[in-house]
Amino acid sequence: MAEDVLKSGNLPENPERATLEGRNKFMGFWFFLGGETVLFASLFGTYLALRNSNAEGPASEDIFGLGLVFIMTVLLLTSSLTSVYAMYHMKNNDFKKMQLWLGITVVLGLAFLGMEIYEFYHYVHGYEFGYTTSAFSSAFYTLVGFHGGHVAFGLLWIVSLMIRNAKRGLNLYNTPKFYIASLYWHFIDVVWVFIFTVVYLLGKVG
Amino acid sequence: MSTTANQKAGIGSVLWDYLTTVDHKKIAILYLIGGMFFFLVGGLQAMLIRIQLVVPENEFLSAQFYNEVLTMHGTTMIFLAAMPLLFALMNAVLPLQIGARDVAFPFVNALGFWLFFFGGIFLNISWFTGGAPDAGWTAYAPLSVFSEGHGVDYYAIGLQISGFGTLMAGINFLVTVINMRAPGMTYMRMPLFTWTSFIASVLILFAFPALTVGLFLLTFDRLFGANFFNPDMGGNAIIWEHLFWIFGHPEVYILILPAFGVFSEVIPAFAKKRLFGYSSMVFATILIAFLGFMVWAHHMFTVGLGPIANSIFAVATMAIAVPTGIKIFNWLFTLWGGQIRMTSPMVFALGFIPTFTVGGMTGVMLASAAADFQYHDSYFVVAHFHYVIVGGVVLGIFAGLIYWWPKMFGTFLNEKLNHWFFWLFFIGFHLTFFLQHFLGLMGMPRRYWTFLEGQNLDLFNLISTIGAFFMAIGTLVFLFNVVKTQLKGEKVSGDPWDARTLEWSIPSPPPFYNFKQEPLVRGLDPLWIEKMQGNGKIQPAEPLGDIHMPNRSLTPFMISLGLFIAGFGIMYQGGMWVLAGIGFATTFGSMLYRSLKDDIGYHVHKEELEEEGDGSNG
Amino acid sequence: MADHTNSVENTDKHEFYKKKHREQMKHQVVTFVMMIAFTLIAFGLVIAEVSAMFTIPIILVLAAVQVLFQLYYFMHMNEEGHQWPAVMIYSGIFAAVLTILALTTITWW
């Protein structure tokens, strides 16, 4: 009985919500994202309150380079689309293609994360813009760093799901797990849309 | 798996049972023990405060120690006593009230408890490592940033850990209510306690993240040299106040709404009438929650936000009196014409209504921004919030505990001792806090270590301390009652109060699967409907079949233990970084284990169920 | 779950779902293209140094629309069974807006 959920093949429409456990996960995770909205709003609010408090350290116009940020944005937006593709294949019960698209998502996410680390390194060493330089620098690194931490966590999550299920394909037990991991990934993208707008673009406009 | 295996168990196996349990009824007992322990600790701190203030210029406590005791009294009572005790009630009865066999996330539920537990222990270890937090329970920056020693670090990290637990508990209850209701249990048939817990969980979901961020910023400022609240480096201390109260004001409603729910269960049960104005009660609850998010700045009237902001927040605050008033009148109209039984939960409810009304009225006084400049940071405020928190939340918790005690433990607390408890506590409460309104109006500032002679403050402070002793004795009577009742262990039926809602339709304490067959709900107060129109038993909605149950797990304990250990590493740094490594490895390793290992639960088979009783309250 | 009996009906259903999913995927790709376009416009406005009075509201609106795209298309909030997620996301946005408003306007110093 209980083991039925581990059988692969013959999935219903919306397999992620076919079991009670799946529906609970789906609902609970959406609510968690509602809470995360407030978490990031608090960080954004703090950043906005302090964004001009650079205390003789570098200001936002001095350091931000839009070229890099644009590439990062495209990478993350694309990874959002690739995870949509992964879910598309999950719903068609095509495990191999789902794994492929998740793999592409992970590669794009890693590239994003690598560029973000490069960016921070560049600020610290090129502009002497460290975490303790000013209230602005603390707020900047905390907000963007929290997002980066979410990206890193999401990558670890997706990779561990891919490895765990590599040999057994899709079933009613793991489809909800894949689904909410992809919701998390989209949410990371949602936050980034506001980061590139509010932090980088407004930082250049002044 | 077998239900017959739990006959005579040794201490070791009981301990293991509770360490690994995912049963909401056992988690309720864990929350109850944890919450009561911290309630007694916080009460002891309150007694120290009152003894220090019994005479002017007292030297009973040093000024520094007084600051620590005062800070920890507030922090403990709010985060480590009131919240877990309410979670104890929610865990014990909310799934039963909606006819569910379990909560939506049994594993997460256990995780929530252990995070709270380890957060609370972490916070209190500060007493033994060079001083507890001393910046007030609100920990206003910049005082909290520049406070010496590690006290405030313990505050920030301890609350962070227990805050994660609260958030998880909140999400768990939300999904439980939405997905796990029995057939026929529509939203507008849910008992008021379920409704208020549901709305309180919504508030938890949106309020706690602001605290999470505030505590992170405080931690980063103190431990990693960030500059959020440091004006020299461009920081701004008002950010802390905003984040703290964006969390802190909804928190007040997180506490009071479930207490309202308890009274909305107790009053109809002992007035033998259905709740007056059920739908307006639901509406008022939602309205309070909605408005509760838009009033936080009334804690900050004297900061200097300007007349426009102050006016907006003043009006919004006063508006909350309207839905609250609706509730008060609904309770009164429920009582009106009812066949009132003066049981102890009912006496608590009757004591609550006028007490809370006084607290509400001083609330409206404080809400008028211009007048608040006089009241601010005086004992008037102390009196006000103790009237709402003790007069509302604490009375609600005890009413609920006594009311649901038979359901949780299958035993019945001695009614006579309960009445003694009530009267000692109630009289003591008013003695302690009523006069503090006037102490405040006479100019006594809150949080001060001592006061001077010859300012007409002596007598009222003395009376206030005497009142505190009455409350302490009352609490001891309750504890004595608990010990006595549990030692005697006399079993009661499933429905000792002749009550109205679904939780009373099953045995006390309920079997681990709660409902043998899913109940069919035919209206509001389902058990009462069956008593009036049926045979007094809830009709099943399904034939007897296998029941799916979750597996027990030690992982929640390990995840929480890891964060607890990591906290020390982050705080002491240097060589202690090793602890952070070990702690986070434990936490993330346990999370990975949870993620990778299939956990599909097990089934209780129909044949086993048939051997047991009919699953009713009989 | 196991419908071995009606395998013909099952394949029909399967084909129907597959087609439906393909339709949805087309919408997703269109959404993605628009999101990239919005991003280009936003960056373009800032790089071209168009007046701040004009740029700031435009890029904020573009960000908001992008987020709605993400929520409704990529995260499927337009599908059925998403009433409660929508309630909680919008409540979260409500609390978020209040928080940001307070921290940007009445953080007095």
Question: What is the predicted pLDDT for the residue at C40?
Answer: 95
> What pLDDT score does C5 carry?
46
How many C-beta atoms lie closer than 10 Å to residue A3's C-beta? 9
Provide the number of structural domains found in chain B: 1
Question: B316: which 2 tokens?
Answer: 């919004």
Domain assignment of residue A104, yes or no:
yes
C-alpha to C-alpha distance for B96 and B100, rounded to whole angstroms: 6
Tally: H helices and E strands in chain B: 22, 2
What are phi and psi for residue B45, nearest 5 degrees?
-65, -40
Task: Tell me, yes or no, whether A68 lies in a domain.
Answer: yes
Q: Give residue B599's pLDDT.
A: 87
Q: How many helices (H) and strands (E) does chain A have?
A: 7, 0
Point out the residue among A190, A201, A206 whose CB comes nearest to the CB of C59.
Answer: A201
Is the Cβ pair A49, C104 closer than 8 Å?
yes
Q: At residue B259, does pLDDT exceed 90? A: yes
Q: How far is A142 from chain B, CA to nearest CA, in Å?
A: 8
Confirm whether B494 is domain-assigned: yes
* Cα–Cα distance, B327 to B131 (Å, whole number): 43
> To the nearest whole number, what is the mean pLDDT of chain A?
93
pLDDT, mean of residues C6-15:
67
What percentage of chain B exceeds 70 in pLDDT?
98
pLDDT, mean of residues B326-341: 96
**Cβ partners under 8 Å of residue B557, min gap 6:** B19, B20, B110, B114
Q: Length of chain B, please?
A: 618
The structure tokens listed for B32 are 């109850």
CA atoms within 13 A on the CB side of B95: 31
All residues at 6 or more sequence positions from B479 whose CB lies less than 8 Å from its CB, including other chains: none
Q: What's the mean pLDDT in A86-107? A: 94
pLDDT tens for B134-189 read 999 999 999 999 999 999 999 999 999 999 999 999 999 999 999 999 999 999 99
Tell whether the model's pLDDT for residue C4 goes beyond 50.
no
Strand pairing partners for B378? Answer: B445
- Cα(B607)–Cα(B509) distance, integer angstroms: 22
pLDDT of B486 > 90? The answer is yes
Distance between CA atoms of residues C68 and C62, nearest Å? 10
**Residues A126, B215 contacting (CB under 8 angstroms):** no
**Contacts of B among chains (3+ CB pairs under 8 A):** A, C
Average pLDDT over residues B72-84: 97
| Mean pLDDT on C62-81 | 91
Q: Range of B234's domain?
A: 8-553+599-611
B577 in a domain, yes or no?
Answer: no
Per the document, the length of chain C is: 109
State the amino acid at position B370 in one-letter form: A
**Count of A–B CB contacts within 8 Å?**
125
- B423 by DSSP, 3-state: which? helix
Domain of residue A113, residue span: 32-51+60-205
- Give C31-58 pLDDT, tens digit per residue: 999 999 999 999 999 999 889 899 999 9
pLDDT over threshold 60, residue B4? no
Distance from B304 to chain C by nearest Cα, in Å?
7
Chains that touch A (3 or more CB pairs under 8 A): B, C
- Among the listed residues A129, A123, A126, A142, the one whose alpha carbon sits nearest the alpha carbon of residue A55: A129
Q: For residue A156, is it within any domain?
A: yes
- Kindly report the backbone phi and psi dihedral angles of residue A128, in degrees, each rounded to the nearest multiple of 5, phi listed first: 50, 45
> Of B369, B215, B220, which Cα lies nearest the Cα of B307?
B369
Q: Does residue A6 have a pLDDT over 90?
A: no
Mean pLDDT for all residues in chain B: 94
All residues of chain C having their beta carbon less than 8 Å from the beta carbon of residue B207 are 95
Q: How many structural domains comprise chain A?
A: 1
Per the domain annotation, does A71 fall within a domain? yes
Q: Which amino acid is at B363?
A: G
Residue A2: pLDDT band (50, 70, 90) is: low
Q: Which of A181-185, B7-11, B234-238, B481-485 has the lowest mean pLDDT?
A: B7-11
Q: What is the CATH number of the domain that holds A114?
A: 1.20.120.80
The tens digit of pLDDT for each residue in B99-128 reads: 999 999 999 999 999 999 999 999 999 999
Query: C97 to chain B nearest CA, in Å?
Result: 11
In a domain, A124, yes or no: yes
A3 pLDDT band, cuts 50/70/90, is low
Q: How confident is the model at residue C1 (pLDDT cuts 50, 70, 90)?
A: very low
Query: Using CA atoms in the order C26, C32, C37, C39, what is the torsion angle rounded to 10 degrees?
Result: 170
Q: Do C103 and B202 touch (CB under 8 A)?
A: no
Q: For residue A106, which of A80, A87, A69 has the smallest C-alpha distance? A: A80
Contact status, residue B171 vs residue A28, Cβ threshold 8 Å: yes
Q: Does any domain span residue A9?
A: no
The answer to whether residue B524 scores a pLDDT higher than 90 is yes
What is residue B53's DSSP assignment?
T
C35: contact with A, CB 8 A cutoff: yes
Overall residue count recorded for chain A in this entry: 206
Does residue B586 lie in a domain region? no
Of C9 and A182, the structure prediction assigns the larger pLDDT to A182
Residue from the list B210, B293, B305 with its beta carbon closest to the beta carbon of C106: B305
Kindly tell me the burial class for residue B209, based on how many C-beta atoms sit within 10 Å of its own C-beta (0-12, 13-18, 19 or more): buried
- Name the DSSP class of B44: H
Note whether A76 and C9 are within 8 A (CB). no
Question: What pLDDT shows up at residue B411?
Answer: 95
Q: What is the pLDDT at residue B554?
A: 96
Indicate whether B441 pLDDT > 70.
yes
Cross-strand pairs, A8: A171
pLDDT at B302 over 90: yes
Q: Which two tokens stand for residue A152?
A: 């890193």
Domain-embedded: residue B561: no
Q: Does A206 contact C at CB distance below 8 Å? A: yes
Residue B511 is assigned to a structural domain of this protein? yes
Contact C109 B238 (CB under 8 A): yes
Domain harbouring B490, CATH code: 1.20.210.10
Residue C9 pLDDT class (50, 70, 90 cuts): low
- Predicted pLDDT of residue A13: 80
In a domain, B405, yes or no: yes
* pLDDT recorded at residue C16: 82
Q: H/E/C letters for each residue in chain C?
A: CCCCCCHHHHHHHHHHHHHHHHHHHHHHHHHHHHHHHHHHHHHHHHHCCCCHHHHHHHHHHHHHHHHHHHHHHHCCCCCCCCHHHHHHHHHHHHHHHHHHHHHHHCCCC
* Spatial CA neighbour of A32 closest among B105, B106, B296, B291: B105
A40 at C interface, C-beta within 8 A: yes
What residues are paired with A171 via a beta bridge?
A8
The Cα–Cα gap between B400 and B97 comes to: 14
Report how far apart, in Å, the C-alpha atoms of B256 and of each of B196, B314, B347 are.
9, 20, 18
pLDDT band at A205 (very low <50, low <70, confident <90, very high): confident
CA of A171 vs chain B CAs: smallest distance (Å) = 12
Amino acid at site B309: A
Q: Show Cβ contacts of residue C26 under 8 Å, excluding neighbours closer than 6 positions.
A: none
CB contact under 8 A, B174 and A28: yes
The per-residue pLDDT for C7 is 55
Chain A residue numbers with beta carbons less than 8 Å from the beta carbon of B169 are: none
Chains touching chain C through at least 3 C-beta pairs below 8 angstroms are A, B
- Residues 6 or more apart whose CB falls under 8 angstroms from that of A94 comprise none
- Contact assignment for A164 to B595 by CB distance below 8 Å: yes
